[in-house]
Amino acid sequence: MPTIQDVALHAKVSVSTVSNVLNGRTDRMRAETLARVEAAIAELQFRPSKLAQQLKTGQTPLLGLLVPSMTNPMYGYIAREIESYAQEHFGYRLLIGSTYRDRDKESAFFEDLSAQGVRRVIVISSLADERHFESAVERGMTVVSYDRGATPGKLSRVGHVMPDNFEAARIATRHLISHGHERLAFATVAGMTMSRSAKIDGFHAAAEEAGLKGKVLDGGPLDEYGDAVIAEVGRATAHQIAALGQRPTGIVALNDLMAMGLMAGLRETGLEVPRDVSVVGIDGLYLSGLSNPGLTTVPLPVKTMARAMVERAMRADAPPESAESDQVFAPEPLVQRESVAAPPDRQRAARVPEEGTAS
């Protein structure tokens, strides 16, 4: 690899002149000099070492991204949007890390990033507190956290970007109600996070509006399962539902993946969606359009949020006020597919023929 020295020699100028052209200070030199330098650069195929630049400037064009798991399609989706926005608009690449919701792994990642010279990171974490990376912020990192608000009462220099989870769940629930459902359930996993409780609140709010009382179903912990994680919890929940005396007829799932697991599980127990039970998801994964029956879901504005996170991470210099830096994004309009119908006791009117329903 040629260095700036080589170029200088080759162009018969000093390294500072080369550096100047590298940094666009071309006004400080004769056109002829510039031409020589550029020729040398081209000829040697010289690419300045970011490493050396970083050491000098303290800036590295790398964005850290912390996700619970890349295998989760939702995180893959978010990661993709973050990546392309950061790349296209700022020339930043992504340094990614999966944490499997483990605090030590998260901390270790922050350590590494910091040692690596990375100053901007986006975190998707479901861990309750963010103390373990508050320290990173204090050391000068800009961090933006997804799907959680600032800890109430605590000042924080961490940026927060999230969907309006309350509203998303409320929309999903209302959809069920508008189809006549009265026995409502919300399928979630064990462990409360801000986003989960917001969804649950939204679910209850919608139920109450209609004078109904919703039930929250906890499918169990996430970590016991390998990969399919959330989907497996959904599957477990389905079996739990099947065993219930008074079965709910309308279910809002924590997210699309869980909904898909739920539908698979329901099928295993002989229950049919949407004939016996209706299901609504939240997220808007394209995969949900592939399921059978197609999953009705409330899409989250992933692109917009990804953009907001990158912007926030980049424009670090903005007023680092306290908690007011939270940004909440409204969900997109519900996408209606085939996983919702009237509850069983209201279906006499038009017991849909084979094809109209599911398979």
Partner DNA sequence: ATGAAAGCGCTAACAT
Partner DNA sequence: ATGTTAGCGCTTTCAT
Query: Binding residues for DNA, per CB under 7 A?
Result: 1, 3-5, 12-17, 19-20, 22-23, 27-30, 32-34, 46-49, 51-53, 55-57
144 binds, among DNA, a copy of itself, none (CB under 5 to 8 A by kind): none
Provide the binding-site residues for a copy of itself, judged by CB under 8 A.
1, 47-52, 54-55, 60, 62, 69-73, 76-77, 79-80, 83-84, 87, 93-98, 109, 111-112, 114-117, 139-140, 227-228, 231, 260-261, 263-264, 267, 270, 272, 286-287, 289-294, 355, 357-359
What secondary structure letter does DSSP report for 332?
P
Smaller CB distance to a copy of itself: residue 97 or 248?
97
292 binds, among DNA, a copy of itself, none (CB under 5 to 8 A by kind): a copy of itself
28 binds, among DNA, a copy of itself, none (CB under 5 to 8 A by kind): DNA
Distance of alpha carbon 89 from alpha carbon 328, whole angstroms: 22
CB of 219 to a copy of itself, least distance (A): 15
Distance of alpha carbon 203 from alpha carbon 169, whole angstroms: 5
Q: Dump strand ranges (E) for 196-337.
A: 215-218, 250-253, 278-283, 296-299, 326-329
CB of 332 to DNA, least distance (A): 42
Amino acid sitting at position 29: M
What secondary structure letter does DSSP report for 23?
T
CB of 84 to a copy of itself, least distance (A): 7
CB of 26 to DNA, least distance (A): 9
Distance of alpha carbon 203 from alpha carbon 194, whole angstroms: 14
Smaller CB distance to DNA: residue 44 or 242?
44
Other Cβ atoms less than 10 A from the Cβ of 180: the count is 15
Smaller CB distance to DNA: residue 42 or 190?
42
Put the strands of the sheet holding 250-253 in their side by side order: 215-218, 184-188, 250-253, 278-283, 296-299
Q: Dump strand ranges (E) for 130-248.
A: 142-146, 159-163, 184-188, 215-218
